[in-house]
Structure 1
Amino acid sequence: MSGNYHQERSRLIQQHKEEIKSIEKEIKSKRGVLKEQYQRHLEEAQKRHQEEMKEFETKYGNEEEKVKKGNKPVALSSSSKEAEGCNSGKTVLYEERQWNSLSKSELEIECKLRGLNSKGGKEDLVTRLFIFTADQKSKLSKIPQGEQKGMEVVKSRDKSSGNLESSSIKGFTVVSSTNKFAPPEINYSEAGGTGRRKGRSQNRKIDHRKNVKPGHNSWAAFCARNDIPRKNTGLNIHEDLNSESSDDEKNEEEEQSLKDSHSENDSIESDENELSGSESEDIDEEELARRNKRRAVMVKVLEKMFSSITISEKKNGLKLSEIEGQLTRLNVKNFKPELLGYKSLEEWLSCQSKTVLTYDEHNQLVFPPGHKIPDSKNNKKDDAYYVDSLSEQEEKKNSDDDDFFI
């Protein structure tokens, strides 16, 4: 029976231990109302465990007394020996604590105080203390209440040395093991009711930029301190002048457009000089860059056009009126010579280099690059500055001689 007694008792204590451990784990993770609920569950579980142990002891009878006759608490310090001497013949009760929440060093001290083996791991020490407290409760339940009135309570109040002090409160002796490992008392009211220790916020990093006045480090403040004139000062003063100058520029552009309309009959060279002068004054760099890109694209279009026309068109040339049709055939829509910086289509074609095309200004024909335009005699004779060569004069004489002999 003794073997079954110890097995059943250890199994029951292990169940109680696991249940309390799970509840304590939930208490640590919860807060507020949930934490209070789990604390109530813990108290209820402890009461239930006491009742189960009582039922277990009544079931096995007085076997526990036979087994536990030799177990007597061993005191460590001289003060504890004095407490035992003064309380000889009385039952000594040790304080019950939450063993799972203690460290290994604290558990070793508790085991030594109760005369238990302090060697082994943390789980072994916890199981020994659970078994010891259960035995202690079973002994207390068997003592009649009349005998408990004359007992004394022994509790420790000196936290630095762990000395024991006795007082008669409940009629039995209690040995408390509060020592230097107990947490210090903290006055949380000094921290403003936040639940934190006083002075904890001193370790936080301080942002000194918040103390700087607004606009103190701005560019405007820097210019004002060092008497530096700002870039945009005086804009409101000269608004009227800018508006007047813009009106004058518009009037000048209108007059210039009228002059250009009157000077359309001038030579091409004078027109090019005027265009170059106006472009350098009025056109921005961005617009010039766009114009150059358009010109490069149209050069590629002309190359594609000459590669796609027939052989007869290459020999006879394309008329000036046919160029727009060829461009639309190559999906070039809304083409305007003004976008390229030229006034007319003829001007654009005449300004192209010979590597791109060959343009016959007299007949207004466009040929592929490398085509040679023949010079007609009639064209030369129409020129006022044309002088006949010696070969042509000899041909005239020969023709006159032939007529004479006829």
Structure 2
Amino acid sequence: MNEQSLAGQAAFAPANTADIADAMIVSSGLRIEVDRRRGRGAGLNPGGRFEPQRRETFDDGWQTLEELPPFKTEVQIEKPRTAITRNESPDIPFDRSINPYRGCEHGCIYCFARPTHAYMGLSAGLDFEARLFAKPDAARLLERELAKPGYKPRVIAIGTNTDPYQPIEKEWRIMREILEVLERANHPVSIVTKSALILRDLDILQRMAEKNLVRASLSVTTLDRKLARTMEPRASTPSKRLDALKALSEAGIRTSVMMAPVIPALNDHEIERVLEAANAAGATEAGYVILRLPLEVSPLFRDWLLQHYPDRYRHVMSLVRSMRGGKDYDADFSKRMKGAGPYAWQIARRFEMATKRLGMTRRGMPLRDDLFLPPNGSGVQLSLL
């Protein structure tokens, strides 16, 4: 095998490509051998959109070079200046969040956070799953930020970008350190994850739940193990996520289920079944998000769909575009989460009827923020008076 550098060429076909032939062009020259990407979600690893060159592997016919090594998970340390990320998006019910990690080993092919790896000069494809960044100083930075004069406590969301309980958390334990800071400060937190590893921190979550300071959401996109394995290769199995929901609920923790994303003609037929299973496990709240395909996610998802479900390619993408004004994605705040048009309306009504029948709420009672105690431990600047 050899590598070829192509300067100034587009890494992807146009985002609104509607033909399978164009999707095949997406794969041409970019596809990574199965043995190199085993256990990963993406089949491509194109260069970042800000890079001046694109590299492709090709066979030069001489068979003189060794096979390229498989993609192994590599973790680098990132040194951010702050732990809390702020946002003013009108369609998001929180104004602050924390991301213990950049990139996610779960490898969910549809992950809307994939394009952020371009800011690190890396690919939104396999690099996003295998070349990760950990923030070991996150808890210390958080404690310092919570101690600032005038800080106003509001719910901090964790897991809305990359999963805080992805496999590397077993070793790095950054999420647990963050929870310890939040518990000491009586600060409300909302967690979303696809991992049963959340049960490791059941002790902290249970104590916080007694003060109505925590909500835990498990993202369950399908009950089909085969679909989950190809679509979310390193996340917990659907049954493990439901077991985690049950354990959290039985421990007195407010639990909800997120069906994110709902993918037309792929998992949308499971809406009622997922909600029923989650409700039986103790979830009292539920939410959903329609498939989002911003920037690099679109060609990555289309390539994956063509490889695993070629018979559904046209149907899936046709329905996606029917909800996005004829495009693969519409970033309008009023449409990006729920879509628009008849099919999106149908999904919304089905979800509404199912949650009503099961007695589940779309958004429960707010978490408490009146118990907040500013930290005064190590790493916090003391007052001069």
Q: So what's the TM-score if we normalise by structure 1?
A: 0.16
Structure with higher strand content: 2
Structure with higher helix content: 1
Larger Rg: 1
The higher-RCO structure (CA 8 Å, 6+ apart) is 2
